[in-house]
Amino acid sequence: MPRLSNIQFLLTVGLLPCLLVVMFLFFVIMEPRFLDSANLVNIARQSVFLLLIAMGQMIVLINAQLDLSVGATVALTSVVVAMATAATAGGPESVLVGVVVGLVVGGAVGLLNGFLVAYLKVPSFMATLGTTSVLTGLALIISKGAPIVGVPLILTDSLATSSILGIPVTVLLGAALAVGVGVFMSRMHAGRDMYAVGGNRAAALVAGINVKRTIILAFVLCSVLASLAGILLTARVGSGEASLGASYVMLSIAAAVLGGTSLFGGEGVLWRVVLGVVFLGVLSNGMNLLHVSSYVQELVIGVVLIAAVAVERFRETS
Amino acid sequence: MNPLIDIDQVGKTFPGVKALSEISFDIRAGEIHALMGENGAGKSTLIKILAGAQKQSTGTIRLNGTAIDFNRPQDAEDAGIRTVFQELNVVPQLSVAENICLGALPGRSGFVDRPRMLQRAQESLSALGTPLPLDAKAGSLPRSSQQLIEIARALMGDAKLLILDEPTASLGEQESRRLLQIVKDLAGRGVAILYITHRMHEVMEVADRATILRDGEFIGTLQAPLDESVVVERMIGRPVSSLYQHSMRSPGAELLSLRELTTATLRQASLTVRAGEVVGIAGLLGSGKSEIGRACFGLDKVLGGQIVLDGRQIETPTPARMLSQGLVYYPSDRRTEGLVMGRPLLEGMTMGSHRAAGLRLYGFLKKGEESRRAAHIGEALDLRPMLLGRKASAFSGGNQQKAVLARGQLHAAKVHIFDEPTVGIDVGAKADVYRLIDDYAEAGHGVVVISSDLTEIIGISDRVYVMHEGSVSAHLTGSNISEEAIAHAFFSHAAA
């Protein structure tokens, strides 16, 4: 087998995995605590929320669309789930109520976004910008701008703090969903159709694919994943907050694109998006451990993001 | 006479591939020189070298006796070698004048010098002998006019050699004739033309000489008058008994019937297609011939009339519904409507067909089965190379077309509508497409072929409908099918 030169290796594997390894080693050397199992579990737990939302964003991006409303979906889910569970007795049924109500919110938001984009032909950027405002407004109206308290403890105990064999339930859930989304996109008929619709909508239509239904399904999946993140976040903070989730809009797009998902549709692989999420998680955790100020962190994330995407583009064109 | 361009032993090697091996021929001022060969014969490589986009590995190119060495396309343009590529490069939002002067806008201290721009654009256009509204947005003009904008841009300044890469590929018969006339006029004024096309009759009509390449090798340069069968034989390297397949068959029951179909373009168009026959649809660009296929398949909105498929009336056609009812439509433009260029060719072959072909189970794809079926169909259609995991964009036009044609094999189809099935594909692939069409007809399917290529229509059709202004202006059968009869009906309303 011919030996690959360094450059060739970079070009075939891509920059992201290499950068991840380098960064990981850097933090290990700079701060031994980084490698503590507690810290690694912490990174994983922190990353699950972004992972769910970024996977949804990836699905929508593959369809050549964009969902700016994921953050507002998290917020509305949080408020509604908190209200619904606060009204229950606090037994195991509270968890069921919380999850079902949260998923219904996500499903409804996805249907709305999908309908606006597929049937009313509103560009997804504008449609989801609009729904962002609508959902945020709804969340603020329902919560009257204050955190909703009274979320039963069992919600936090079961979804946020419990663990199986030392691995947090949140992380197991995230891993299972990642496998599910991966299988869906690469092995299922509906996932394959999404690559076709995003890659060339006219050709997909002529080939007999139901383009509108495919796009709606993508938005529903994205919103449902965002609402799942909303449920988990609510369980974790123990109250309903209309301010949750706003930062995830840009981060989810960043993670997806960092993972090689095309902004123009038709391209994107799940495992690379997972790497993108892990990358952002490790970067932020490591900088926290090194006491890098949050202002500097913002700046570093921006620079790394631009550099990584620019290099990926270079790899594609060379 | 000294040649304008002297191509001397020019070769080009890519890592592991010899794209061109020691090609030698010359191009004279004022001649129309056809460059012919199948896809992959090396035409594109040679053009790119002449246009300064690539460098030859060996050999020399001389312009008026002086060896030239281009490092970038701009060098070739400065030397007077201008290329109009197949893909249109006009900016639809800009005006005609701005498009013509694109990249060389006359200006003064950062501002566009508008009078000078208009004057230059006008000069270029008058060299073509065609008026175009200088202030109109390029996007609002038909494709043929956009093509002229590109040619006008290429003629700015002192053009010595004009390379035209399939300039008529997307034009109708009438527009093509106009363009060919313009090309002849340009040659008459001393510009050398290197003309690349897959349309044989154009070469017969205008070329003074034709150079033929095959598999990167120089086969020969022929003098007009050219003999079509000799040219084709040289191109594909074996004698062709007949390009067109037309087996004996007798048509059966009516499979598709359009009754007074009306859309934004069509006006009460009626026609029928029977089992076991090939029905040709001819017409000029804008006559409604393409819209017949699009309306049947649910791509254009039906405003009135009926579509009856296999005895059942179709209320609101959509592509998915028509496919499930056994009607397959093969679009004319593989790039925009046929395949997803950035995805593996395999996915393009099976796209939308998984349910019909039994390639899914409980929503899951049967990936192994999918690959086997695609490979099987690819072999039957002689698709090359059989590396179906490669991106669709990496395949030649003919092979992309074959991938689109796979749909007909995966759906339980009874009626096939081909819209310009052989546009921009090479002779070998054409023969494969005609063979497939003939096989379908022989198997008792109904086939509709919509085409701007009259020779093709005449060669393969049992019956021909001619479209004019949205309705059928002639219905020709048997010995009545002739180029004259069709051309006559292009311009006249129905007698019946």
Domain final position from B236, B262, B289:
B236
What is the rounded distance in angstroms from the CA atom of residue B245 to the CA atom of residue B435?
6
pLDDT in tens, B223-282: 988 888 888 888 877 665 567 877 778 888 999 999 999 999 999 999 999 999 999 999
Higher pLDDT, residue A3 or A237: A237
| pLDDT, averaged across chain B | 89
What pLDDT is stored for residue B495 in this prediction?
Answer: 44
- Asked if B337's CB is within 8 angstroms of A206's CB, the reply is yes
Q: Does A267 touch chain B (CB under 8 A)?
A: yes
User: Are residues B269 and B173 part of one domain?
Assistant: no
Q: B249 lies in a domain?
A: no
User: Are residues B261 and B165 part of one domain?
Assistant: no
User: At A317, is the pLDDT very low, low, confident or very high (cuts 50, 70, 90)?
Assistant: low
Quickly count: other Cβ atoms within 10 Å of residue A94's Cβ. Answer: 21
Q: Does B364 touch chain A (CB under 8 A)?
A: yes
Q: What is the CATH number of the domain that holds B95?
A: 3.40.50.300
Higher pLDDT, residue B238 or B36: B36
Q: Does B323 touch chain A (CB under 8 A)?
A: yes
Token pair, residue B292, equals 């017949």
Predicted confidence (pLDDT) at residue A6 exceeds the cutoff of 80: no
pLDDT in tens, B184-239: 998 998 999 999 987 888 888 899 999 999 888 899 999 988 888 888 888 877 66
Higher pLDDT, residue A48 or B86: A48
The closest CB to that of B329, out of A206, A210, A267, belongs to A206
Q: B112 lies in a domain?
A: yes
- Asked if A202's CB is within 8 angstroms of B336's CB, the reply is yes
What total number of domains does chain B contain? 2
Which stretch, A49-63, A230-244, B195-209, B452-466, has highest mean pLDDT?
A49-63
What pLDDT is stored for residue B141 in this prediction?
Answer: 85
Average pLDDT value for residue range B476-481: 89
User: Are residues B308 and B213 part of one domain?
Assistant: no
Higher pLDDT, residue B40 or B452: B452
What is the rounded distance in angstroms from the CA atom of residue A170 to the CA atom of residue A168?
5
Domain final position from B206, B236, B266:
B236
User: Are residues B305 and B189 part of one domain?
Assistant: no
Q: Does B480 touch chain A (CB under 8 A)?
A: no
User: At A236, is the pLDDT very low, low, confident or very high (cuts 50, 70, 90)?
Assistant: very high
Smallest Cα distance from B349 to chain A, Å: 10
User: Are residues B225 and B269 part of one domain?
Assistant: no
Percent of chain B surpassing pLDDT 90: 52
Q: What is the 3-state secondary structure (H, E, C) of chain A?
A: CCCCCHHHHHHHHCHHHHHHHHHHHHHHHHCHHHHCHHHHHHHHHHHHHHHHHHHHHHHHHHCCCCCCCHHHHHHHHHHHHHHHHHCCCCCHHHHHHHHHHHHHHHHHHHHHHHHHHHCCCCCHHHHHHHHHHHHHHHHHHHHCCCCECCCCHHHHHHHHHCEECCEEHHHHHHHHHHHHHHHHHHHEHHHHHHHHHHHCHHHHHHCCCCHHHHHHHHHHHHHHHHHHHHHHHHHHHCCECCCCCCCHHHHHHHHHHHCCCCCCCCCCCHHHHHHHHHHHHHHHHHHHHCCCCHHHHHHHHHHHHHHHHHHHHHHHHC
User: At A277, is the pLDDT very low, low, confident or very high (cuts 50, 70, 90)?
Assistant: very high
Which stretch, A174-183, A237-246, B101-110, B160-169, has highest mean pLDDT?
A174-183
What is the rounded distance in angstroms from the CA atom of residue B146 to the CA atom of residue B157?
20
Domains in chain A and their CATH numbers?
15-317 (1.10.3470)
Q: Which of A184, A194, A200, A221 is most worth mutating to test chain B (most B CB atoms within 10 A of its CB)?
A: A200
User: Are residues B114 and B37 part of one domain?
Assistant: yes
Q: What is the pTM of this model?
A: 0.81
What pLDDT is stored for residue A289 in this prediction?
Answer: 92
Chains A–B, number of C-beta pairs less than 8 Å apart: 78
Predicted confidence (pLDDT) at residue B38 exceeds the cutoff of 80: no
The closest CB to that of A266, out of B331, B343, B367, belongs to B343
Pairing, β B17-27 against β B5-14: antiparallel
Q: B496 lies in a domain?
A: no
What is the rounded distance in angstroms from the CA atom of residue B208 to the CA atom of residue A270?
57
Q: Does B329 touch chain A (CB under 8 A)?
A: yes
What is the rounded distance in angstroms from the CA atom of residue B246 to the CA atom of residue A110?
54
User: At B174, is the pLDDT very low, low, confident or very high (cuts 50, 70, 90)?
Assistant: confident
What pLDDT is stored for residue B493 in this prediction?
Answer: 57
Q: B244 lies in a domain?
A: no
Q: B495 lies in a domain?
A: no
Q: Does A192 touch chain B (CB under 8 A)?
A: yes
- Asked if A196's CB is within 8 angstroms of B343's CB, the reply is yes
User: Are residues B261 and B230 part of one domain?
Assistant: no
Token pair, residue B435, equals 């063979």
- Asked if B347's CB is within 8 angstroms of A192's CB, the reply is yes
Q: Which residue of A has its CA nearest to B329?
A: A206
Predicted confidence (pLDDT) at residue A13 exceeds the cutoff of 70: no
What pLDDT is stored for residue A188 in this prediction?
Answer: 96
Q: Which of B340, B347, B355, B362 is most worth mutating to test chain A (most A CB atoms within 10 A of its CB)?
A: B340
- Check residue B172 and report its DSSP letter: -
Predicted confidence (pLDDT) at residue A298 exceeds the cutoff of 60: yes
pLDDT in tens, B401-428: 999 999 999 999 999 999 999 987 888 8
Q: B246 lies in a domain?
A: no
Domain final position from B185, B206, B236:
B236
Instruction: List all residues of chain A from 198 to 257 with a beta carbon under 8 Å from chain B.
Output: 199-200, 202-210
The closest CB to that of A189, out of B348, B365, B407, belongs to B365
What pLDDT is stored for residue B131 in this prediction?
Answer: 79
Q: B241 lies in a domain?
A: no
Q: Which residue of A has its CA nearest to B317?
A: A208
User: Are residues B425 and B297 part of one domain?
Assistant: yes
- For the ranges A135-139, B34-38, B377-381, the lowest mean pLDDT is seen at B34-38
Percent of chain B surpassing pLDDT 70: 97
User: Are residues B183 and B313 part of one domain?
Assistant: no
Q: Does B342 touch chain A (CB under 8 A)?
A: yes
Q: Does B71 touch chain A (CB under 8 A)?
A: no
- Asked if B340's CB is within 8 angstroms of A203's CB, the reply is yes
Domain carrying residue B387: 254-490
User: Are residues B297 and B207 part of one domain?
Assistant: no
Q: Does B195 touch chain A (CB under 8 A)?
A: no
Q: Which residues have C-beta within 8 Å of that of residue A13, sequence separation ≥ 6?
A: none
Q: Does A195 touch chain B (CB under 8 A)?
A: yes
Percent of chain A surpassing pLDDT 90: 72
pLDDT in tens, B74-131: 899 889 999 988 777 888 899 999 998 887 788 777 888 888 888 888 888 887 777 7
User: At B8, is the pLDDT very low, low, confident or very high (cuts 50, 70, 90)?
Assistant: very high
User: Are residues B395 and B273 part of one domain?
Assistant: yes
User: At B374, is the pLDDT very low, low, confident or very high (cuts 50, 70, 90)?
Assistant: very high
User: Are residues B345 and B206 part of one domain?
Assistant: no
Quick check: A80 and A101 in contact, CB under 8 A?
Answer: yes
Token pair, residue A80, equals 């509604």
- Asked if B364's CB is within 8 angstroms of A187's CB, the reply is yes
Q: B376 lies in a domain?
A: yes
Residue with tokens 């239904």: A213
